[in-house]
Structures are given as C-alpha cells and as structure tokens.
Amino acid sequence: MTVRRVRADEWPALRGLRLDALRDPDARLAFLDSFADAVQRPDEHWRGRAAASAEGDAAVQLVAVDDHELAGSVTVLVQVAGSQDHHGRRVRHSRAVLVGVYVRPAYRGTGVTDDLIDAAATWSRARGFRELTLDVHRDNARAQGAYRRAGFTPSGVAFTSAIGPEIEMVRAL
Ligand SMILES: CC(C)(COP(=O)(O)OP(=O)(O)OC[C@H]1O[C@@H](n2cnc3c(N)ncnc32)[C@H](O)[C@@H]1OP(=O)(O)O)[C@@H](O)C(=O)NCCC(=O)NCCS
C-alpha cells in the first residue's frame, strides 16, 4: 500500500472512488454531496478537481493505492482567514481542514485510514500549520473512533450543517 498525492491524470479513478463513497450506506452521515448530483457532472469537473488537488498549496488529495486500485482518500483544504468554508461559514484564522475521508469497505480496519491521516498531517505541518481540523456527523461513530485513535479530540464546537448535527475535532501537528 502506497499513500501519495494524487496525479491529475488519475481523474477517472478519483471519479470512481468518489461515486462509490457517495453510494456508501454511511454517505448521508459523511458527505455534503450526493450520488445523484455527482454522477451527472461532466468529465471537465473531475479533471479540474483532480488537477486542483494534485498541485499547489490550496488543497491536496492523498490517495492510498493498492496494486493500482484506489483503496481510499483524504483531502486537505487550506482555508484562508476571511474566506468562506465548505459550510458557508466565515473562516476566522487560516487553517488546514481534513475533508472527503473515505476508505473502501475491503480496506477498513487495516490501518489505511491512519496512513492517510498521517500523510494529511505531514502535508499540513510542512505548510506551517500547527493544527488539523475536521467536522464529523454526531452519529458517525466509526469515523469518530478512527479520528480519536489518530489523535483528534472534540474542540467543543458543534453546529448543524446540510447533513445534520456535526462536531469539530482537532489534532495538534
Ligand atoms: C470513516 C472511515 C474512513 C474510517 O476508516 P476505518 O478503517 O473504517 O476505521 P477504523 O476501523 O480504522 O477505526 C474505526 C474505529 O471506530 C471503532 N468503531 C467502529 N464502529 C464503531 C461504532 N459503531 N461505534 C463506535 N466505535 C466504532 C473501531 O473499533 C475503531 O476504533 P479502534 O481502532 O480504537 O478499535 C471509513 O469507515 C469510511 O470510509 N466510512 C464511510 C465514509 C465516512 O464516514 N467518512 C468520514 C466522514 S467525516
């Protein structure tokens, strides 16, 4: 298993992984997007999405690759103070935010999630961030378990997003 930054030319595989994520039984507790919307997006959308996370400092998508299959993925978004975050909230301090956490069922409980989160932490630390933040649905117990094991603790911030009640968790880098 290799964990690395995605390449722009991998957009078809990223599209497949994302569509599988949006079909997951827990998708309604995990993602702001829906399968019905995503499946209709043109190739240009997926090309652009892959390119934006393959290069630069604004975002990174890290993938776990097993024998040419994408086992899972995480994305770090750099949110700049004064901008709006992915929930439409104003960002007070520039921060690194972990989103789009998904591991295919066959690879769950194998440590892939930890490797992806560690890679996200390393990338964020190298860009000067001292914390990694994420939001997780209040009822997504498995994700919260994985995040706690990876060193995240609740920050005390709770809010309601498009998918319902969420809590913020933070890990020092
Ligand atoms: C979230 C996800 C990436 C976690 O990866 P994973 O490999 O399944 O996680 P792990 O098995 O390594 O860790 C889960 C932890 O929660 C625990 N757990 C599992 N189910 C649980 C439940 N119903 N209640 C409480 N804890 C639970 C596990 O025991 C484990 O903790 P432990 O290692 O301390 O025993 C993966 O399940 C996934 O892709 N889920 C669908 C998408 C999703 O929910 N993404 C997160 C969006 S915020």
Show the tokens assigned to 119. Answer: 């890679």
Nearest C-alpha neighbor of 41 from the set 19, 23, 25, 21: 19
> Does residue 68 carry a pLDDT above 90?
no
Ramachandran region, residue 100 (left: φ > 0; alpha: ψ -120 to 50; beta: rest): left
> Does residue 82 carry a pLDDT above 90?
yes
Rounded alpha-carbon distances, angstroms, from residue 112 to 1, 24, 56, 63, 108: 8, 17, 24, 10, 7
Separation of 43 CA from ligand 1 center, angstroms? 31
The CATH number linked to 149 is 3.40.630.30
Top mutation candidate among 19, 20, 142 for ligand 1, by most atoms within 8 Å of CB: 142
Res. 117 pLDDT band, cuts 50 70 90: very high
Which of ligand 1's atoms lies nearest the C-alpha of 140? 44
Residue with tokens 């995040």: 147
Residue with tokens 């630069």: 56
> Does residue 154 carry a pLDDT above 90?
yes
CB of 89 closer than 8 Å to CB of 75: no
> Does residue 6 carry a pLDDT above 90?
yes
Ligand 1, atom 20: closest residue by C-alpha: 142
With a pLDDT cut of 70, the percent of the chain lying above it is: 100
Q: Which helix (H) or strand (E) holds 14?
A: helix 11-22
The chain-wide mean pLDDT, for the chain, equals 96
Q: Identity (one letter) of the amino acid at 59?
A: A
20 Cβ below 6 A of ligand 1: no
Ligand 1, atom 31: closest residue by C-alpha: 145
Q: What is the dihedral of CA 33, 39, 70, 78, to 10 degrees?
A: -40
Per-residue pLDDT of 12-27, as tens digits, reads 999 999 999 999 999 9
149 Cβ below 6 A of ligand 1: yes
6 Cβ below 6 A of ligand 1: no
Q: Taking residues 62-71, what's their average pLDDT?
A: 95
142 Cβ below 6 A of ligand 1: yes
How many structural domains compose the chain?
Answer: 1
> Which domain range does residue 113 map to?
2-172
Residue with tokens 């722009």: 8
State pTM to two decimals: 0.96
